[in-house]
Copies of this chain bind each other. A is one copy, B any other.
Amino acid sequence: MSTSRLEAFSDGVLAVAITLLVLDIKVPSVGGHDDLGRELARNWPHYAAYVTSFLTIGIIWINHHAMIGRLLQADHMILFLNLLLLLSIALLPFATSLMAAYLKQSHGQNLAAAIYSGTFLLMAVLFSILNRHILLRKPQLLTSELSEQHRRQILARSITGLAPYAIATALAAVSAYATLAICAALAVFYALPVASGGDQRGE
């Protein structure tokens, strides 16, 4: 299969998932003597989780493009692994809602944070597995010949990117705020052009 329709479908899922995130930001219904400003401010976990998830999907989109751009053709294994990756990304609107809803609650905040960060970790793991299949198992499908050393470098960066999400997920047992802070910091760090020059997470 040519990669153009694979890209079009993946872009579609990513574009819908990233735009559905906004459905979690609800308009507060404010009674007579409540204050809209205070209600909106109280919802800050929803905005923080929105920006974090939005930037993270954006980074995945950039890295996905780079990964697929190296391919001439896709075999069935690539389609299958890509589908699993999309499945994990499409879960993000749920994980983001869960995180935002429980961040400030006394019960459940640790579990919600672990699921939120765990979804990012799952995405990063599936991304690395797909990347590994492409770079090590199917070099003949690549558009340009890359030395094995170069391919292993790209993959090593991809796998190194898993560590911070593993740490953030583990830290959820201690503090949901710490987990969100790490995920947000990672999103900003990877999205910022300075951190990269083509060296974004997952590549």
Contacts and interface: CB of A to CB of B under 8 A. Distances in A.
B83 A191 contact: yes
> What bracket does the count of chain A residues touching chain B fall in?
35 or more
A58 to B, nearest CB: 4
Nearest to A98: B27
Interface stretch (A104-112, A146-154, A157-165, A166-174): A104-112
State the majority secondary structure of interface residues on A. helix
A54 to B, nearest CB: 5
Q: Give 9 closest A-B pairs by Cβ, nearest first.
A: A12-B15, A36-B108, A16-B19, A58-B83, A76-B193, A77-B193, A25-B94, A27-B97, A13-B15
Interface of A: 1, 5, 7-9, 11-23, 25, 27, 29-30, 32, 34-37, 40, 51, 54-55, 58, 61-62, 65-66, 69, 75-77, 79-80, 83, 86-87, 90-91, 93-94, 97-98, 101-102, 105, 107-108, 111-112, 115, 191-193, 196-198, 200
